[in-house]
Amino acid sequence: MDVLEPKQRSLLKALKAGDRRAIGRAITLAETNSTRAGSLFREIQPNTGRGHIIGVTGPPGSGKSTLIDGLISALRKLSHTVAVIAVDPSSPISGGAILGDRLRMASHNADEGVFIRSLSTRGHLGGLIPSVHNVANILEFAGFNHIILETVGTGQSEIEIADIAQTTVVLCTPGAGDDVQALKAGVLEIADILVVNKEDLHGADKTVQLLKAMLTLRAPGHKKAQVIKTCATTGRGIDELVTLIKHHYTTTSCNTDKVLREKSRRLLATKAAALLMQELLDARNSELDTICAAFERGERTLAQCVREALKLKSH
Which spans of this chain sit near ligand GDP (rule: CB under 6 A)?
A: 60-66, 197-198, 200-201, 231-233
CB of 298 vs ligand GDP, minimal distance in Å: 46
Picked from Mg ion, ligand GDP, none, the partner binding residue 167 (CB below 5 to 8 A depending on kind) is none
Cα-only R_g, the chain: 21
- Taking the complex as a whole, the smallest distance from the CB of residue 275 to ligand GDP amounts, in Å, to 31
> What is the nearest approach in angstroms of ligand GDP to the Cβ of residue 219?
28
> Out of ligand GDP, Mg ion, none, which partner does residue 12 contact, by CB within 5 to 8 A per kind?
none
Q: Is 108 exposed, middle or buried (0-12, 13-18, 19+ CB in 10 A)?
A: middle
Residue 229 contact among ligand GDP, Mg ion, none, beta carbon within 5 to 8 Å by kind: none
Closest CA to 79 of 168, 144, 165: 144
Query: Cβ of residue 129: shortest distance to ligand GDP, in angstroms?
Result: 22
Q: Could you tell me the smallest distance in angstroms from the CB atom of residue 151 to ligand GDP?
A: 10
Element (H, E) at 215: helix 204-216
* Position of minimal CB gap to Mg ion: 65
**Residue 101 engages Mg ion in binding (rule: CB under 5 A):** yes
Instruction: Spell out the residues 6+ positions from residue 196 whose beta carbon is closer than 8 angstroms to its own.
Output: 172, 173, 174, 204, 207, 208, 211, 227, 228, 229, 230
Only segment of 35-43, 96-104, 155-163, 256-264 that touches Mg ion (CB under 5 A): 96-104
CB of 57 to Mg ion, least distance (A): 10
- Amino acid, res. 210: L
Is the CB of 52 or the CB of 64 nearer to ligand GDP? 64
Residue type present at position 315: H
Q: Of residues 60-89, which lie at the interface with Mg ion (CB under 5 A)?
A: 64-65
CB under 5 A: which stretch of 56-64, 117-125, 161-169, 297-305 binds Mg ion? 56-64
User: Considering beta carbons, is residue 95 or 126 the nearer one to ligand GDP?
Assistant: 95
Rounded-to-integer distance, Cα 180 and Cα 79, Å: 35
Binding site for Mg ion (CB under 5 A): 64-65, 101
